[in-house]
Amino acid sequence: MIDWNALLLVAAVAIGAATSVSLAFALGIRFLTNAKHIQENTKKKEGAKPLEILNRVAAYALFTIASSAILYGIYLIVPYFHLDK
């Protein structure tokens, strides 16, 4: 017999995780693009603006979150990592 509640739970978690990883990566790209536009509009003598630095830090943090989630998913899927040695 199929446990429909478990199936719906797995489907909901999979859709939520995929959406979260995609959102984190997309926002990272957006913040990196914003930082690039701020850098292009700033004169070289002025140096980096705090908003540019904040956008870059946020972008790299979101890229780290997305890549960590992907690596954790691979860790859960590959059975070699779970063998008792």
Nearest to 38 by CA among 26, 53, 23, 24: 53
What is the pTM assigned to this prediction? 0.83
**Hey, is 83 helix, strand or coil?**
coil
Q: What is the pLDDT of residues 23-34, one digit of tens each?
A: 999 999 999 999
Judge residue 63's burial from the number of C-beta atoms within 10 Å of its C-beta, 0-12 exposed, 13-18 middle, 19 or more buried: middle
Q: What pLDDT is stored for residue 85 in this prediction?
A: 61
CB atoms within 10 A of CB 32: 17
Mean pLDDT of 42-46: 75
Mean pLDDT throughout 37-55? 84
pLDDT in tens, 64-82: 999 999 999 999 999 888 8
Query: d(Cα 85, Cα 83) in Å, to the nearest integer?
Result: 6
Domain that holds residue 9: 4-82
Total tally of structural domains belonging to the chain: 1
Provide the percentage of residues in the chain whose pLDDT is more than 90: 71
What per-residue confidence (pLDDT) applies to 73? 93
Cα of 59 vs its chain's centroid, Å: 9
